[in-house]
Amino acid sequence: MEYQYYKRNIDGFLLAWSKENPPDRKPLLLRGARQVGKSSALRQLGKKFRYFLEINFEENKEVKSFFERSLSPQEICEQLALYYKTPIVPGETLLFLDEIQSCKPKPCFFLMKSKAALLLWKSSDIFMKNTQSFT
């Protein structure tokens, strides 16, 4: 049986965000209630990129060490690319960091500094002011 994706209101926003010029594009924090389809929406968006890399810090605890050793976005991307055997290319790779609350505070630093790749970040555990809501 094939997986069926159900369109969500946020899909148009995510697509518009993905088409922004890579040097101008900012990391995106996607947060919301559990089980509403955040990860599914990101995986669907990942199909529009040449490469998609999903990293779940709760499922793969070993990857946390990459962020403990270095805060250099280039070094972290190189380690992730080797570990997952997936290239991380600016504008061509959607990098989805899931369950980042399990790996604080290093990924936050990495995301703020990085221009090395397209980054997408999801957590329901972080409070942000001035966020846009989709219903």
| Displacement of CA 32 from its chain's centroid (Å) | 15
Residue 107: CB atoms within 10 A of its CB come to: 25
Task: Let me know if 131 is exposed, middle or buried by CB neighbors in 10 A (0-12, 13-18, 19+).
Answer: exposed
What is the average pLDDT across 106-114?
55
pTM of the model: 0.76
Locate the DSSP E strands across the chain: 28-30, 51-56, 93-98, 118-122
Position 106 scores a pLDDT of 55
Quick one: pLDDT band at residue 52, thresholds 50, 70, 90? very high
For residue 79, pLDDT over 60 is answered with yes
